[in-house]
């Protein structure tokens, strides 16, 4: 097992919600990372952000670990959830709320509703 893989496993098991992204939640460095971090921040989700740009091994390692070719990648309770498109769809359908609720992750239900209203209106 590579260092990157063991680092990834440790990160996703020790944090309820982890976003592997380009940049940080305060300073995202790509539009897709910014969108997912923005949704999580807006919904008040406590999450750990991992900047893959700071570590090439990690940047490649996370793609191999999840067998998913793109960044960002969201993990909830150690399980890979998806990238930007999947998270966006799950937010709009309410599936993300359900996942957070079932996983015991605290989030602002009103904020989640506001996102849906703003995008469906």
First and final C-alpha spacing in the chain: 48
Domain span at residue 51? 3-120
Number of domains present in the structure of the chain? 1
pTM equals 0.95
Exposure of 86 in the CB half-sphere (CA atoms within 13 A): 12
Whether the bond between 14 and the residue before it is cis, its omega within 30 degrees of 0, is no
Q: Which pLDDT score is estimated for 121?
A: 62
pLDDT confidence band for 96 (50 / 70 / 90): very high
The average pLDDT across 64-73 equals 96
- Model confidence at 120, pLDDT cuts 50, 70, 90, reads confident
The more confidently predicted of residues 26 and 121 is 26
CATH number of the domain bearing residue 20? 3.40.30.10
The answer to whether 84 is a known ligand-binding residue is no
**Structure confidence at residue 85 (pLDDT):** 97
State the pairing for strand pair 17-21/73-76.
antiparallel
């Amino acid at each position: 097992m590579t260092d990157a893989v063991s680092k990834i496993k440790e990160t996703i098991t020790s944090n309820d919600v982890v976003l592997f992204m380009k940049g940080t939640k305060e300073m995202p460095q790509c539009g897709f990372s910014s969108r997912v971090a923005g949704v999580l921040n807006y919904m008040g989700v406590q999450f750990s952000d991992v900047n893959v740009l700071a570590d090439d091994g990690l940047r490649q390692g996370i793609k191999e670990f999840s067998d998913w070719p793109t960044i960002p990648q969201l993990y909830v309770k150690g399980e890979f959830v998806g990238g930007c498109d999947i998270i966006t769809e799950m937010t709009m359908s309410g599936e993300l709320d359900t996942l957070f609720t079932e996983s015991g992750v605290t989030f602002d239900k009103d904020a989640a509703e506001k996102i849906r209203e703003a995008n469906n209106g």
